[in-house]
Each structure stands twice: as C-alpha cells, then as structure tokens.
C-alpha cells in the first residue's frame, strides 16, 4: 500500500505512528534517527534480550541509511524542507515499519553489485537485502516522497 504524501506544509503521517522525528536535512541528525529507532524498536519487541538487541540494531542501521539517503537527496536538490521519520508497529505481534519523508524530487533506486569501498549506493542495497519489504511512494500531491521499509518481529525473520 502506498500512503498519500501531501506537500511539506502538510506532511504525510501514517495512520497511527508510534513515534516520529522531524529534523533538518543535516547529516548531524542521522545519529538521533538511529537512537530514536533503536530505543523504540528495542522496547516493543517481545524476544529474548540478545534477539531484541539484534532486531533494534538492524532497525537502527536501516533507518539511518534511509535518513542519510533523504538528507543526501535534499542537499543535492537544494531542498531546505525538514525530513520526517515515522515508526509504527503495524499490528500486535506484526511488523515494524519505518517511513522517511522528504520533499526532494526523484525516486531512489537500488544499485546492485555495489562494492565495499563505494561511498554511495550501499544504503538502499542494505535495506533491500535485509528488510522484509520496502518501497517508495510518491503518488500524493506535492513534491517529494516517502521511503519505507519493514522488519518482521517473528522468530527467524530478518
């Protein structure tokens, strides 16, 4: 399902986000995104402590990659609008979804065969490889898009 994405003046909000963070398109905010997602995902996962930490670290890593992509796209386009990260549990015992909304034009695409020493292209490749689902939505009014991914919290899922 692709959510509706309004203009930056009326930012997209998932139906019932469990948390959100709005920040300027500045790389200094990636750490805050990571910590926000780590805290939220770790506190809500009903797994043994080691599995909970592993899930939280994966969620934090992928969220920081998505936030970095939004910051990079905004900087490249000279787009000063804030970026918003939303996190939500889709159902009790269900997947954890992260949305990152920016107002920059264009849609991200996964680059396959990215080498370890390349500076760009690894983030979406990691998300595509490790998330259970992901996508980009840009079918709402106004500029920009919402990139999202989700992780399952069932045993044995990524």
Average pLDDT across each block of 10 residues of the chain; the chain has 158 residues. List them in order: 39 68 96 94 68 89 96 93 90 85 86 68 87 83 84 62
Q: Does some domain include residue 14? A: no
Q: Does some domain include residue 123? A: yes
Q: Does some domain include residue 89? A: yes
Q: Does some domain include residue 2? A: no
pLDDT at 15: 56
Work out how many domains the chain is built from and give that number.
1
pLDDT at 45: 60
pTM (two decimals): 0.82
Q: Does some domain include residue 9? A: no
Domain range enclosing 130: 19-151
Q: Does some domain include residue 111? A: yes
Residue pair 6/141 in contact (Cβ under 8 Å)? The answer is: yes
pLDDT at 87: 92
pLDDT at 93: 72
CA 145 from centre of chain: 12
- Coarse DSSP helix, strand, coil percentages of the chain, rounded to the nearest 5 percent: 35, 20, 45
Q: Does some domain include residue 65? A: yes
pLDDT at 106: 85
Cα(6)–Cα(46) distance, rounded to whole angstroms? Answer: 34
pLDDT at 76: 92
Q: Does some domain include residue 6? A: no
For residue 42, give the CATH number of its domain: 3.30.565.10
């Amino acid at each position: 399902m692709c959510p509706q994405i309004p203009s930056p003046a009326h930012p997209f909000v998932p139906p019932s986000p469990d948390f959100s963070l709005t920040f300027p398109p500045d790389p200094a905010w990636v750490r805050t995104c990571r910590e926000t997602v780590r805290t939220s995902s770790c506190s809500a996962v009903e797994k043994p402590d080691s599995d909970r930490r592993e899930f939280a670290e994966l969620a934090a890593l992928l969220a920081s990659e998505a936030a970095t992509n939004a910051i990079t796209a905004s900087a490249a386009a000279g787009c000063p609008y804030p970026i918003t990260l939303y996190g939500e549990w889709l159902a009790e015992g269900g997947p954890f979804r992260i949305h990152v909304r920016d107002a920059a034009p264009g849609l991200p695409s996964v680059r396959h065969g990215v080498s370890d020493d390349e500076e760009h292209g690894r983030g979406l490749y990691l998300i595509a490889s490790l998330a259970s689902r992901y996508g980009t939505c840009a079918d709402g009014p106004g500029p920009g898009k919402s990139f999202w991914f989700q992780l399952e919290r069932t045993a044995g899922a990524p």
